[in-house]
Structure 1
Amino acid sequence: MRYIIIGSGAIGGSIGGRLHESGQSVVLVARGAHFEALRDNGLRFTVPTGTLTLDVPVVARPEDVELRADDVLVLAVKTQDSVAALDTWAARPVAGGGTAGERIPLVCAQNGVENERLALRRFREVYGMCVILPSSHLNPGEVVAPCGPYTGALVIGRYATGTDDTARRIADDLEKACFLAPVASDVMRWKYGKLLGNLANVVEAVCGSASDATAQDLVARAKAEGAAVLDAAGIAYAGEAEITELRSGTVDLQPIAGERARGSSWQSLARGTGSIETDYLNGEIVLLGREHGVPTPVNATLQHAARESVRRQREPGGLTAEELSRRIAEGITE
């Protein structure tokens, strides 16, 4: 199997880098300065045991790689970029006939729960992946993954339910590449559980940190709303204790000099990417709340604050937790 990693930032770079290091065939897909740095200098991949320089093949466009029947596409872009990527890759021809959408499995290694539905409109074989992989990508050509002894936990299964030989083969390759990779028939239950945890991302991003008491209160209230919404919708989700048990002693943060673990939304604001995935995290809870008649003022306010931060080109820390709490109390959500 050859792995085509679509989006080679923090998550894609970590997965692609580890697979390449373990001897698997990998192609990274990147763009702009990141592509140029990977092409010219390789992937600078920092883990607790040191920094690796990995000469992973990299392309800038789908047209630059000839797809074959034994490929696996790993989608690792943010959800707001999924449709454009899926439309482009699904139509690509595969050696021997047919298109990628018809013949090649696609794995959604992404936060949120919308990507799989988007993918299944375009690909016959779609696999969900619950990604528990603290990592960062702030500079071109560089990815930092500060966990050990496993780099991350990647729960994989068919979408919407089930397992098969392809999922097990991918999991086997990931296990050989320093990942914990359970195969689950209910992968979306894991992804909904991870969604609740990701509701904290925007607090860290907008406030710069989620460590003080007021920020922690916001996080707790956002998660409580999320759980209430999922319960009302009848959606099963892995509990926080279950996720903690999965990673405890296996995917533990380990100190790396000069590095500090930051969430993906914080990184989006810090890098000035011009977008943020909050609409598909907190916004998913807002959407489900509206569908099932459950008020979600905390998540709606956080969603709005994220949009505002992107629109005004704020860096992390542009708003305080106290200001967000005031907006919630005053009903400022639009």
Structure 2
Amino acid sequence: MRIAVIGAGAVGCYVGGLLAHAGHNVTLLGRAVHVDAIKANGLLLDMPDGSRRIEVEAVTDAADLSPADLVLVCVKSADTEDAGRELLPILREGTVILSLQNGVDNAEKLRTVTGHSVVPAVVYVAVDMKGPGHVGYHGGGRLLIGSCPESEAIASAFTQAGVPTIISERVLNALWTKLTINCAYNALSAVAQIAYTPMLEVEGVKAVMAQVVQECQDVAAACQVWLPETMLQQVLDIAKLMPDQKSSTAQDIKRGRPTEIDYLNGYIVRKGAEFGIATPTNQALQVMVKLAEKSHCHVER
């Protein structure tokens, strides 16, 4: 399978690297700092069974991509439309676009820009870039994808490559569940630069997270999406599964990069305003991260 990965950050490099290791023809589109390292030394992927050095094609210019059977979109939510326009030249009639992004509406944005069907996906993996062309794995690894004629073949290829993949008709609900988890953890972890388990040990944090979850549930219901009654417990259990993990928002702040906060807590605030639902806790967390961005951000999108 010929695969193009648009946005070769931690998730893109992790999934793309495993697919390349399994023998697929993969090309990563990413920033020069990572592409140069991958070209020189291969992609270094730290896994529980040891480090793997994977030979994989990497480019910085979308014009260097070849037509693909499968396109994995892994860019930040703010860059979705730009990514859609970049990938237009490599789309064929049978190309499948898979959105491996945070947020709940990126697949729809890609459909609008490309005029091509897009399959939404939910990624359950904790990874980060430990250095140029170097991915660190911290837990998880499975994938949930929507249904399309090629879903069975895609799920089989991913699973064989070490990314267990399930096809689901309820991906939108899963995306909202993940959004709620991100809203509860990402901003708090970012502002304090703290991992999940020690974060929950701070007095008052669980109460704040409960307020975040309730606001997310209220907004989701207004959008005709019903989150599970056990949503808060699912949120709290994440700290047990990923005790040493810091949020992707925390990683962005640390590196001086723009975050996705406007598409996490900020999305809840915007949708809440549309429906007349108050979301003060999500708004406070959004503003806190925006303040941290203003003081730390020094890299363009």
TM-score between the two structures when normalised by the length of structure 2? 0.88
Cα contact 1:114–1:280 (8 A) shared by 2: no
Question: Could you give the per-residue CA deviations for residues 69-91 of structure 1, whole angstroms, max 9, x where no partner exists?
Answer: xx21100011012121111112x
Whole-Å Cα distance in 2 between the matches of residues 213 and 226 of structure 1?
Answer: 22
Query: SS where residue 66 of structure 1 aligns?
Result: coil
**In the TM superposition, what is the alpha-carbon distance from 1:280 to its structure 2 partner?**
0.6
Partner of 1:279: 262
Q: Which amino acid aligns with 1:264?
A: S
Which residue identity does 1:205 align to in structure 2? A
1:202 aligns with 2:187: yes
Against the structure 1 CA distance between its residues 231 and 14, is the aligned structure 2 distance closer, same or farther, given a 3 Å change threshold? same
Secondary structure of the residue aligned to 1:165 is coil
Alignment map for 1:100-249 (pairs within 5 Å): 100=91, 104-123=95-114, 124-147=116-139, 151-157=140-146, 163-199=147-183, 200-209=185-194, 210-211=199-200, 212-237=202-227
- The 5 Å alignment of 1:39-54 reads 39-54=39-54
Change over 3 Å in CA distance of 1:102–1:304 after alignment to 2 = farther
Alpha-carbon distance in structure 2 between the residues aligned to 1:142 and 1:10? 9
Distance 2:162 2:228 in 1: 23
Cα separation, 2, equivalents of 1:261 and 1:77 = 21
Residue matched to 1:265: 249
Q: CA, structure 1 residues 109+222, in 2 after alignment: closer, same or farther (shift >3 Å)?
A: same
The 3 A distance-change label for structure 1 pair 298 and 242 is: closer
Q: Is the 2:127–2:138 Cα contact (8 Å) retained in structure 1?
A: yes
CA distance in 2, matches of 1:240, 1:181: 24
Structure 1, residues 277-334: CA drift from partner, whole Å, max 9, x if none?
011111111112111111000001111111111111179xxxxxxxxxxxxxxxxxxx
1:35, 1:115 → 2: CA distance? 25
Question: What's the secondary structure of 2:8's corresponding residue?
Answer: coil
CA distance in 2, matches of 1:41, 1:217: 47
Query: Aligned-pair distance for 1:189?
Result: 1.2
Normalised to the residue count of structure 1, the TM-score between the two structures is 0.80
SS at match of 2:104: coil
In structure 2, relative to structure 1, the CA distance for the partners of 1:37 and 1:243 (3 Å cut) is farther
Larger relative helix fraction: 2
RMSD of the TM alignment (CA)? Answer: 2.5
1:98-137 C-alpha deviation (Å, 9 max, x unpaired): xx27652211101111211110102312000011111111
> Structure 1 residues 3 and 237, CA, compared in 2 at 3 Å: closer, same or farther?
farther
Following superposition, the deviation at residue 39 of structure 1 comes to 1.2
SS of 1:107's partner is: strand
1:44-77 alpha-carbon deviations (Å, 9 max, x no partner)? 1001111111111111111112214xx2110001
Instruction: Between 163-172 and 207-216, report the one with greater CA deviation.
Output: 207-216
C-alpha contact (below 8 Å) 1:39/1:58 kept by paired residues? yes
Q: Distance in 2 between matches of 1:284 and 1:223?
A: 14
Partner SS state of residue 146, structure 1:
strand
Q: What is the CA distance between 1:166 and its match in structure 2?
A: 1.1
**1:94-105 maps to which residues of 2 (within 5 A)?**
94=90, 100=91, 104-105=95-96
- 1:266 CA displacement: 1.0
Report if the CA contact (8 A) 1:203-1:218 is conserved. no
Does the 8 Å CA contact 1:228/1:294 hold for their aligned counterparts?
A: yes
Question: For residues 136-188 of structure 1, what are the alpha-carbon distances to aligned partners after superposition, in whole Å with 9 as ceiling and x for unaligned?
Answer: 114211111122xxx5111000xxxxx23311111111110112211012211
Call closer, same or farther: CA 1:130–1:40 in 2, change over 3 Å. Answer: same
5+ residue gaps, structure 1, are 95-99, 158-162, 255-259, 316-334
Structure 2 Cα separation of the partners of residues 119 and 132 of structure 1 = 21
Q: Deviations over 1:179-208 (max 9, x none)?
A: 221101221111111111111211101122
Instruction: Give per-residue Cα distances to partners, 1:213-243, cap 9 Å, x unaligned.
Output: 2333322221121112212332234565799
Q: How many residues align?
A: 288
Question: Which digits, 9 at most, give the CA deviation of each residue in 1:4-38, with x for residues without a partner?
Answer: 11111111111011111222221111112111111
Hey, what does 2:37 align to over in structure 1?
37
Once the 2 structures are TM-superposed, how far is the Cα of residue 270 of structure 1 from its aligned partner?
A: 1.3
